[in-house]
A and B are shown apart, each in its own frame.
Chain A
Amino acid sequence: MKKIFPFGGISLTTVVLFFACSCLLRSGSTDLALQAQLVWGTNNDKPDDPKLKEVDAKVTERLRTALKWKNYFEVNRQNFTVHAGTPKKVKMSDHCEIEVDNFGNSSIEVKLYGKGKMVVKKTQKIKPGELLIFAGDDKNDTAWFVVLSQTEK
């Protein structure tokens, strides 16, 4: 009798199926809950816009560890969820947007748009507690930052 699948192939299929289904079931949703903050960095004690509030102290400390500016002020904050395979566009300001694509397993692709044009695209894993930051110079030796982090669902 001609075998359609060898015995080993059937066992392998079973094992692969088991792992594939259990991973999907165990992980539940592959949605990612993220927060994006638009931040302004400066060495001045007060921001140009008095309405801006200081960034959370823990985040400020982390920014200060690696970056040269003394003070960081939040311009905008967006909390959003990115479903696996469905890119999400988030407006941070009149000129700045990000688009986040969730590839599953905490891997994301982030596109940064400035005035409607894609400026940079970055792909990487983002684990809880880590920050992914896009940054650039602003006038008078200040800088802008888009700070991306995972939040709890």
Chain B
Amino acid sequence: MSRKLDYPSAADDVLVKAAQKADMQAFEELVARHRDKIYARAVSMMRNEEEAADLSQEAWVKAWQRLKQFQGEASFVTWMTRIIINLCLDQLRKQKRLRAESIEQLDEESGGVERQMPVVTPNPTERMERGELRQRIDEALGKLSCEHRTVLILHEFEELEYKEIAKRMQCSIGTVMSRLFYARRKIATLLAGWKREESR
């Protein structure tokens, strides 16, 4: 008598092995477990919930098609995150060539702006409630250009090294460093600015 898999309590690697044998219920359990994380990554990169939902759906379909190639070299969620990041980067590259890009971004890229930002002290996030802080950080991310935000997300949230980010974004390591530097300083300046406004 075959033992039926207890999907909700099965570990990811067990579900992956079952899904690789075309067990769709196992795959559905994986989707349910990790859909929010994958969606959240897409939202942070695309800044558009509808696009993020479409891309995350596409990511899951691609994952199903490529599941046999997944050897367990990283965790399943890391592998899935890689898929959604690549889909988002492809989509951002397409959009970059189309009409929507603002010319203001050129100023940020030139590297002149960050030198005007004084170093921020003391801690602008002190005494900020966690929910409010997260909201502020999200707002601040929204004020960055797509290139700066992407580098920040890949480094700070996905913990990728400079070299890996450069490869994914098809740019030089120097460019990654400059963009990361600008993005971090801009975030710090924005948070400090908001705190100053509130204390008035």
Direct contact of A and B (CB under 8 A): yes
Question: B99, A68: Cβ atoms under 8 Å?
Answer: yes
A118 within 8 A of B: no
Measured CB to CB, the nearest residue on chain B to A140 is B106
Number of residue pairs A-B, CB distance < 8 angstroms: 17
A68 touches B106 (CB 8 A): no
Q: Are A64 and B103 in contact (CB under 8 A)?
A: no
Partner of A66, one of B98, B101, B106: B98
Assembled-state Cα–Cα distance A65/B98 (Å): 9
Measured between beta carbons, the chain B residues less than 8 angstroms from A135 are 97
**At the interface, yes or no: A15 with Cβ under 8 Å from chain B?**
no
Cβ contact within 8 Å between B99 and A67: yes
Q: Are the CB atoms of B106 and A141 closer together than 8 Å? A: yes
Bound together, the chains give a CA A91 to CA B11 distance in angstroms of 60
The residue of chain A having its C-beta at the shortest distance from the C-beta of B100 within the complex is A68
Q: Bound state CA distance, A70 and B31, in angstroms? A: 43
Pairwise interchain contact A67-B97, C-beta atoms closer than 8 A: yes
Chain B proximity of A63: nearest CB distance (Å):
10
Min CB–CB distance B8 → chain A (angstroms): 47
Neighbouring B residues of A64 by C-beta, 8 Å: 99
Q: Tell me whether A43 is interfacial, beta carbon within 8 Å.
A: yes
Q: Complex: how many Å from CA A75 to CA B89? A: 32
| A64, A135, A141: most-surrounded residue (chain B CB, <10 A) | A141
Interface of B is mostly: loop
Query: Which residues from 97 to 130 on chain B have a C-beta closer than 8 Å to any C-beta of chain A?
Result: 97-101, 103, 106
Within A91-148, the residues touching B (CB, 8 Å) are 135, 141, 143
Chain B: minimal CB distance from A147 (Å): 15
In the bound complex, residues from chain B placing their C-beta under 8 Å from that of A68 are: 96-101
Contacting residues, chain A, for B101 (C-beta < 8 A): 68
Chain B, residue nearest A136 (CB):
B97
Within 8 Å by CB of A43, from B97, B98, B100, B103, lies B103
**Who on chain A is nearest to B105 by CB?**
A141
Task: Return the CB mask of B80-98 against A: 1 if under 8 Å, else 0.
Answer: 0000000000000000111
* Chain A positions 55 through 85: 1 when the CB is less than 8 Å from some CB of chain B, otherwise 0: 0000000001111100000000000000000
B95 to chain A, nearest CB (A): 9
Least distance between B171 CB and chain A CB atoms (Å): 11
Cα(A80)–Cα(B120), bound, Å: 63
| A residues less than 8 Å from B97 (CB atoms) | 67-68, 135, 143
Inside 8 A of B103's CB, which chain A residues have their CB?
Answer: 43
- How far in angstroms is the closest Cβ of chain A from B93? 11
* Closest Cβ neighbor of A66 among chain B residues: B98
The residue on A at minimum CB distance from B103 is: A43
17 CB-based A-B contacts, threshold 8 Å: A43-B103, A64-B99, A65-B99, A66-B98, A66-B99, A67-B97, A67-B98, A67-B99, A68-B96, A68-B97, A68-B98, A68-B99, A68-B100, A68-B101, A135-B97, A141-B106, A143-B97
For the complex of A and B, 7 pairs with smallest distance between CB atoms: A68-B99, A68-B101, A141-B106, A68-B98, A66-B98, A67-B97, A43-B103
**Known contacts A67-B97, A68-B98, A68-B100; 4 further A-B pairs (Cβ under 8 A):** A67-B98, A67-B99, A68-B96, A68-B97
